Amino acid sequence: MDALDVMANLQQVFPYYQAIFSADEHCVIGYEVLGRYQSETGVVSLGPFFHDDTIPEEFRLEVDEVVTKKALDYFLSLDDYTPLIFLNRDANLLMLDRADSFLQLLLQYETRGLSLERIVLEINEQHFKGDLDQLSHLLTYIRTYGVKIAVDNIGEHSSNLERIGVLSPDILKIDLRQLRKTSVHQAYQDIVYSISLLARKIGATLLYEDIETSFQLQYAWRNGGRYYQGYYLAKPSPELVPRDMLKERLRQECHHFIQQEKKKLETLYHISEQFQQRLTALLAKYKKVTDFNELISLLANELNDVCFRIYVCDEDGFQQSANMFKRNGRWELEPQYYMKNWSWRPYFLENIIRMRSRKRGILSDLYADIETGETIRTYSYPIDDRHYLFIDLSYNYLFEHDVHY
């Protein structure tokens, strides 16, 4: 695309609108405004134009303004329909005049009846080259007008969570293109999980974008997504789609997701109950064994079909036994782990209190084992009020019981 051709034919620049759907109402809650250009060969995206740093800043700002004005004119022409309006801006260009031209444009439309609380300003923090604190102050100022802030393309690369935390956006847009790959590394899913935790801490809403399959939609639903966007739901269009276009379909799909998730949770509950009964019986069988190393050796033979590591900790997280570790099908005692402390692990002390108060075992969520790198779950069980048994379940066992995801 030739930049001079675009600048010479601004009448051929216009907006497209991509619908954004909600998980709570299953309807369209907003639209992202996307720039398009009518070339001789057809309609083309202006994305490459806006992202090309070799194109003069004033060219990109002018084209951006043309797209925005046409979009806002269109939204103002709608009767009794007030969706959110997502406007993309290059944070570097925004800083040139401290967003003055952007705000002046919005204020012009506010006098014509546009509520600025409908505006969502989208920026990409990864491409920002300036002072992050200054950008953060600017975004805080923009918020005083009622404008919401979204940070997009999170997950496309390794996003810096600290930078996102400084900006404290209202909406985090997570890119799901990685999930279209045949093999998704666990690290990517861990990053998404970390982002979801960050969103909860800063009070941000998660919007999953680039959804092109039902699997991605389910992943977004399962990982705290309130808003969804992508070709699987609706492609960018020169017109708005009906607000309830996918209401029934999304309701049916979410019902399917709910049923699958309930089935998985029921399976986890049954596995936890089975371990509760099994360990209650085993500890009663070996109640006269007072040496913890001897106890875990006996339990290893009894639990050979389900786990690869067993150890005992006290209520403060200090290991009171060696590790019993299965290597190449053989159990080995690893005395070097005696008196290591694990209280720094997330949820460790919380789970100790839960086990002590309920006098029942706990099955952990999925996590990557530090030493083996394998995806595992741990079943923890109270031996008495001061000592707790930890059993690391193998991935093969989890896979066989369909609780490996």
Q: What is the pLDDT of residues 339-359, one digit of tens each?
A: 999 999 888 999 999 999 999
For 289-348, how does the pLDDT look when each residue is reduced to its tens digit (9 = 90+)?
Answer: 999 999 999 999 999 999 999 999 999 999 999 999 999 999 999 999 999 999 998 889
CA triplet 98, 85, 180: central angle to 5 degrees? 100
What are the E-state strand segments in 55-204? 84-88, 119-123, 148-154, 171-175
Specify whether 25 is located in the same domain as 153.
yes
We report the CATH number of the domain holding residue 211 as 3.20.20.450
In 3-state terms, the chain is what percent helix, strand and coil (to 5)?
Answer: 45, 25, 30
CA triplet 362, 366, 367: central angle to 5 degrees? 115
DSSP 286-322: TTT---HHHHHHHHHHHTTTTEEEEEEEETTSBB-S-
Specify whether 223 is located in the same domain as 296.
no
In a domain, 39, yes or no: yes
Which of 182, 216, 234 is a domain's end point?
234
In a domain, 303, yes or no: yes
In a domain, 405, yes or no: no
Q: How many structural domains are present in the chain?
A: 2
In a domain, 250, yes or no: no
In a domain, 248, yes or no: no
**Between β-strands 362-363 and 375-382, what pairing exists: parallel, antiparallel or unpaired?**
antiparallel
Specify whether 288 is located in the same domain as 371.
yes
Specify whether 201 is located in the same domain as 298.
no
- Between 100-110 and 57-76, two packed helices, what is the crossing angle to 10 degrees? 20
Specify whether 114 is located in the same domain as 170.
yes
Is the Cβ–Cβ distance between 227 and 29 less than 8 Å? yes
**pLDDT of amino acid 191:** 80
Would you call 325 helix, strand, or coil by DSSP? Answer: strand
The band of 177, judged by pLDDT with boundaries at 50, 70 and 90, is confident
Specify whether 96 is located in the same domain as 225.
yes
Specify whether 297 is located in the same domain as 385.
yes
Question: Please, what is the average pLDDT of the chain?
Answer: 92
Specify whether 130 is located in the same domain as 63.
yes
Specify whether 179 is located in the same domain as 224.
yes
Average pLDDT of the residues in 361-381: 90
CA distances from 197 to 98, 206, 256, 298 (A): 31, 10, 25, 40
Specify whether 104 is located in the same domain as 31.
yes
**Domain residues for 208?**
3-234
**Between β-strands 119-123 and 330-334, what pairing exists: parallel, antiparallel or unpaired?**
unpaired
What are the E-state strand segments in 23-101? 28-39, 42-45, 84-88
In a domain, 246, yes or no: no
We report the CATH number of the domain holding residue 282 as 3.30.450.20
- The span from the CA of 400 to the CA of 292, in Å, is 30
Share of the chain above pLDDT 70, in %: 97
For 117-145, how does the pLDDT look when each residue is reduced to its tens digit (9 = 90+)?
Answer: 999 999 988 788 889 999 999 999 999 99
Is the Cβ–Cβ distance between 164 and 199 less than 8 Å? no
Amino acid at 188: Y
Q: Give the chain's largest Cα–Cα span.
A: 89
**pLDDT of amino acid 124:** 86
**Between β-strands 148-154 and 42-45, what pairing exists: parallel, antiparallel or unpaired?**
unpaired
The band of 181, judged by pLDDT with boundaries at 50, 70 and 90, is low
**pLDDT of amino acid 185:** 62
In a domain, 312, yes or no: yes
**pLDDT of amino acid 157:** 53
pLDDT higher than 80, residue 266: yes
- The span from the CA of 237 to the CA of 17, in Å, is 5
Is the Cβ–Cβ distance between 160 and 194 less than 8 Å? no
In a domain, 102, yes or no: yes
Specify whether 168 is located in the same domain as 270.
no
**Closest to 389 measured CA to CA, from 283, 268, 273:** 283
Specify whether 228 is located in the same domain as 273.
no
